[in-house]
């Protein structure tokens, strides 16, 4: 079941406590669709900020992986290569890592999510965990 607490009580969707397919897209799902050419990354971001496009999708996919590892972060928390991604300084290797993140988030395989999360670029640093 997918829930979006941020839009509960609004008229954006019929039922924010049981979202239908397509009413909420995870970071990994958005990443896969972006990589396959199925979505315009410039439409994905945080209103009122400069955080839009592929870098925002990458960041959300990494945050999703953290959540699957029992570490919920804030939308503006950044670690690993996220800042470099926003500056356009990451390349094919990071995109490949994000492909693996999207796959691990979509799979019903907790061990895969835990194993990938152990990667230094993906693990939430201790200074963010303590807040």
**What is each CA distance from 67 to 35, 41, 95, in whole angstroms?**
22, 22, 20
Cα separation of 57 and 41, whole Å? 8
Instruction: Indicate the helix (H) or strand (E) that contains 106.
Output: helix 92-106
- pTM more than 0.85: yes
Q: Where are the domains of the chain?
A: 5-129
Tens place of pLDDT per residue across the chain (131 aa)? 788 777 888 888 888 888 888 888 889 999 999 999 999 999 988 878 888 899 999 999 999 999 999 998 988 899 999 999 999 999 999 999 999 999 999 998 899 999 999 998 899 998 888 75
**What is each CA distance from 6 to 20, 65, 75, in whole angstroms?**
16, 20, 12
Quick check: helix, strand or coil at residue 24?
strand
């Amino acid at each position: 079941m997918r829930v979006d607490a941020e839009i509960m009580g609004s008229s954006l969707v019929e039922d924010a406590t049981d979202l239908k397919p397509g009413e909420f897209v995870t970071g990994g799902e958005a990443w896969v669709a972006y990589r396959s050419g199925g979505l315009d990354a410039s439409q994905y971001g945080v209103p009122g900020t400069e955080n839009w496009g592929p870098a925002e999708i990458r960041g959300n996919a990494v945050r999703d992986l953290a959540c699957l590892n029992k570490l919920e972060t804030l939308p503006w928390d950044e670690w690993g290569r996220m800042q470099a991604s926003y500056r356009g300084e990451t390349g094919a290797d990071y995109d490949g890592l994000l492909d693996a993140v999207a796959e691990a988030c979509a799979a019903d395989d907790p061990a895969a999510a835990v194993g990938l999360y152990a990667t230094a670029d993906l693990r939430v640093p201790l200074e963010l965990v303590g807040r």
